[in-house]
Amino acid sequence: MELGLNGKTAVVTGASRGIGLAITRALAAEGVRVVGAARTVTPELEKAAAVTVSADLSTREGATAVVERALETIGGIDFLVNNVGGGDSGRPSQGHFLDADDEQWQSFFDLTLFSAVWTTRAALPSILERKGSIINISSITARVPTGAPVGYAEAKAALTQLGKRLSEELAPRGVRVNTVSPGIVASSLWTDPNGFAGRLADAAGISHDELLARIPGQSGISSGRMTRPEEVADLVTFLLSDRAANIHGADHVIDGGTLKAA
């Protein structure tokens, strides 16, 4: 299927690994010049992106600097993918509501919600001029927060609502805004035994491999496996293309059938 993306430009946040890196690679394969932004620029991102920017996207200055760098280097922005999120928020408490302090709440909202607000505000004049598209990467935890660290699901729910608000305002002006909400994705957040999943396994007194084996059943994933980052990237790539020209303001779930409600 010809997507007609060759020669377009994009900014992808949280692009150094996982979903963000997969999106960067998928867009680059379609001929898109991608500015990949992350706190730490990895060799993999350097190879995939046309331009890389190291920035703290949880700050207004960092988020704005990414867009400014993109405008300087690629001349304009057709697409913005707000992917950076809670998975990069250090080591949040896995406890109850009373265990989460203000810093944890603020960290999730700054990185997940406000980073998208800041990058969108800075990039929007160029996107409007080019009749481009914005995609926010949310999560099914925005609908069912069970098991998510306190503050994470709430920030994702706000991000999903931001997408709907932006779509209502921008669709009449020729800009499409959509949301993609993955379930559990087989990124390093889960596959790295020294990462988030490793800490969960330690807390449960089981091995990392045993935790991964239990996830599909315990999470109710009908397909029996986690979603691959490349599958999310393929969905994002399609939604950015003209093949999806009349898809506006939608929240696209990709979770292997985890959510059971219609």
Tell whether 151 and 248 lie within a shared domain: yes
Strand partners, 34: 10
> For 74-99, how does the pLDDT look when each residue is reduced to its tens digit (9 = 90+)?
999 999 999 998 754 445 556 789 98
Q: Are residues 127 and 177 in the same domain?
A: yes
Sorting pLDDT into bands at 50, 70 and 90, what band is 167? very high
Instruction: Give the active site residue among 79, 108, 152, 190.
Output: 152
Predicted TM-score of the model (pTM): 0.94
If asked whether residues 221 and 145 sit together in one domain, one would say no
**What is the rounded average pLDDT for all residues in the chain?**
94
CA distance 192 to 186: 10
Residue 101 CB coordination number (10 Å)? 12
Categorize the per-residue pLDDT at 144 as very low, low, confident or very high, splitting at 50, 70 and 90.
very high
CATH at residue 136: 3.40.50.720
Residue-range definition of the domain harbouring residue 32: 9-184+228-254
Tell me, yes or no, whether 33 and 105 share the same domain. yes
Average pLDDT score over residue span 4-8: 97
For residue 172, count other CB atoms closer than 10 A to its CB: 9
Residue 222 shares a structural domain with residue 237: no
Q: What is the pLDDT of residue 88?
A: 46
pLDDT of the residue at 91: 55
pLDDT of res. 204: 86
Section 95-106 average pLDDT = 90
Task: Quote the pLDDT of residue 87.
Answer: 56
- Number of domains within the chain: 2
Concerning whether 152 is annotated as a catalytic residue, the answer is: yes
